[in-house]
């Protein structure tokens, strides 16, 4: 960590931000044999509308919360025989949310329960608001004082408002790290080629992952900037909220429950999809690089202040990565430590194993979707329950789990 902090300080002094890259050329030699696992329907009797988030409140109730992109937070008891009658509405803000099937990167995109939700009843949402064009809002809500199964719709406290130049590349994940801070994934603002150069502009919040303290408030803000953020205290050079930057569109990111590592899958443009382990102050290259490669005519070759992904794949394999989560459940011990991810276009699902000590990928193994109607699954999100078991959902509202392929 001393080396990282020193690099950040040197970068600020030189007005050039970034960390030493984590090279991954060894990753191409990973084990690619299929895992003896398959995807199957987890709750075959329900099909919620476009569930883009699945998570738990970690409050001991074992409810599985689902977010519909149209603007409703629901939950079900976490058992396989649930029916439509078991779905309960926790929060409905559909009237406040912009969503259009033809422009499906807006909507209610993120949900994160406060680490102390059991005692304080607070949770946070990320959505595209109807009250101002092309604007993302992050808000705090609280559970109803009278009913633990309902949120108080009148408790909204806006934390942050972010203007978006276009309708796409809104990012959307919000998640609490093991440090108790809220992390926010933002895309580059949209269109093609990052026309406003937000990915490399640390004076813009777009194209970045933010890190804020929602339990304190700085003057003029409904949140506080942690003092150990990489660009804290240098407002003329960079926004202090930025934790890492150089991203095109981190649609889904998550923390490894065992060690707190932040995993982010960045959706590519022309040729490459990528997976990153995100470090404080890191510059992940967009729009100078796509994956491990120079992007466009004005891109950059590999260099020390740009961090390349730990894994990439080209558009012959898939064309839109859906980031997942590191499996830390109990039902499939052979899957422990694998990062489960998918491609929305090809419908394939993989488990990727990363050796944190050697800093290289040692396996990237496909998980069978052959038993699913159509033979593939256009996964739009992943989630974990209270026990760390992993769920997948697709654009058709089907929710899946991973089981042994016997």
Structure tokens at 359: 């800093």
What is the average pLDDT value for the chain, to the nearest integer?
92
- 3-class SS of residue 259: coil
State how far the Cα of 110 lies from the Cα of 11, in Å rounded to an integer: 32
Q: Per-residue pLDDT for 287 more than 60? A: yes
State whether the Cα torsion 315-316-318-319 is positive or negative: positive
- 3-class SS of residue 20: coil
For 76-97, write each residue's pLDDT tens digit. 999 999 999 999 999 999 999 9
Please choose, from the candidates 248, 175, 245, the residue with its C-alpha nearest in 3D space to the C-alpha of residue 208.
245
State how far the Cα of 340 lies from the Cα of 53, in Å rounded to an integer: 15
Contact present, 186 and 173 (Cβ < 8 Å): no
Contact present, 189 and 169 (Cβ < 8 Å): yes
Q: What pLDDT is stored for residue 375 in this prediction? A: 86
Structure tokens at 123: 């949770």
Please choose, from the candidates 108, 113, 97, 105, the residue with its C-alpha nearest in 3D space to the C-alpha of residue 64.
113
Q: What pLDDT is stored for residue 103 in this prediction? A: 86
Please choose, from the candidates 32, 81, 45, the residue with its C-alpha nearest in 3D space to the C-alpha of residue 352.
32
What average pLDDT score do residues 373-387 get?
93
Contact present, 96 and 104 (Cβ < 8 Å): no
Query: Alpha-carbon dihedral of residues 244, 309, 250, 64, nearest 10 degrees?
Result: -110
Beta-carbon-side half-sphere exposure of residue 357 (alpha carbons within 13 Å)? 0
For 289-334, write each residue's pLDDT tens digit. 999 999 988 899 998 999 999 999 999 999 999 999 999 999 999 9
Q: Where are the domains of the chain?
A: 43-330
Q: What pLDDT is stored for residue 28 in this prediction? A: 55
What average pLDDT score do residues 243-260 get?
97
The answer to whether the bond into 61 is cis (omega within 30° of 0) is no
Question: How many Å separate Cα 303 from the centre of its chain?
Answer: 26
What average pLDDT score do residues 248-267 get?
97
Which of 9-23, 60-74, 139-153, 205-219 has the lowest average pLDDT?
Answer: 9-23
- Domain 43-330: which CATH number of 3.20.20.70, 1.10.1670.40, 2.120.10.30, 3.30.365.10: 2.120.10.30
State how far the Cα of 405 lies from the Cα of 18, in Å rounded to an integer: 43
Contact present, 273 and 265 (Cβ < 8 Å): yes
State how far the Cα of 197 lies from the Cα of 206, in Å rounded to an integer: 9
């Amino acid at each position: 960590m001393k080396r990282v902090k020193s690099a950040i300080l040197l970068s600020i002094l030189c007005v050039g931000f970034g960390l030493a890259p984590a090279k991954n050329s060894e990753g191409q030699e990973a084990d690619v044999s299929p895992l003896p696992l398959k995807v199957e329907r987890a709750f075959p009797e329900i099909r919620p509308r476009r569930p883009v988030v699945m998570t738990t409140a970690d409050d001991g109730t074992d409810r599985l919360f689902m977010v519909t992109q149209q603007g409703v937070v629901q939950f079900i008891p976490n058992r396989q025989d649930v029916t439509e009658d078991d779905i309960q509405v926790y929060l409905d803000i559909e009237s406040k949310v912009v969503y259009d099937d033809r422009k499906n990167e807006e909507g209610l995109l993120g949900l994160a329960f406060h680490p102390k939700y059991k005692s304080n009843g607070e949770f946070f949402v990320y959505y595209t608001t109807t009250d101002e064009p092309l604007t993302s809002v992050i808000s705090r809500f609280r559970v109803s004082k009278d009913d633990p199964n309902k949120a108080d719709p009148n408790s909204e406290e806006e934390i942050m408002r972010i203007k978006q130049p276009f309708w796409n590349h809104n990012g959307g994940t919000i998640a609490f790290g093991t440090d108790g801070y809220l992390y926010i994934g933002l895309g580059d603002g949209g269109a093609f080629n990052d026309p406003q150069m937000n990915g490399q502009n640390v004076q813009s919040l777009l194209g970045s992952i933010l890190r804020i303290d929602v339990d304190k408030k700085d003057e003029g803000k409904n949140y506080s900037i942690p003092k150990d953020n990489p660009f804290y205290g240098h407002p003329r050079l960079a926004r202090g909220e930025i934790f890492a930057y150089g991203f095109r569109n981190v649609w889904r990111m998550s923390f490894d429950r065992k060690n707190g590592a932040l995993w982010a899958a960045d959706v590519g443009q022309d040729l490459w999809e990528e997976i990153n382990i995100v470090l404080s102050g890191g510059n992940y290259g967009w729009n100078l690089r796509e994956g491990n490669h120079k992007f466009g005519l004005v891109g950059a070759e590999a260099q020390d202040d740009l961090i390349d992904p730990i894994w990439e794949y080209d558009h012959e394999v898939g064309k839109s990565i859906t980031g997942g989560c590191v499996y830390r459940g109990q039902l499939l011990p052979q899957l422990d430590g694998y990062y489960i991810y998918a491609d929305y276009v090809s419908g394939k699902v993989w488990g990727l194993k990363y050796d944190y000590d050697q800093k290289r990928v040692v396996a990237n193994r496909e998980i069978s979707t052959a038993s699913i109607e159509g033979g593939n699954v256009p996964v739009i999100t992943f989630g974990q329950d209270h026990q760390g078991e992993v769920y997948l959902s697709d654009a058709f509202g089907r929710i899946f789990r991973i089981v042994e392929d016997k």
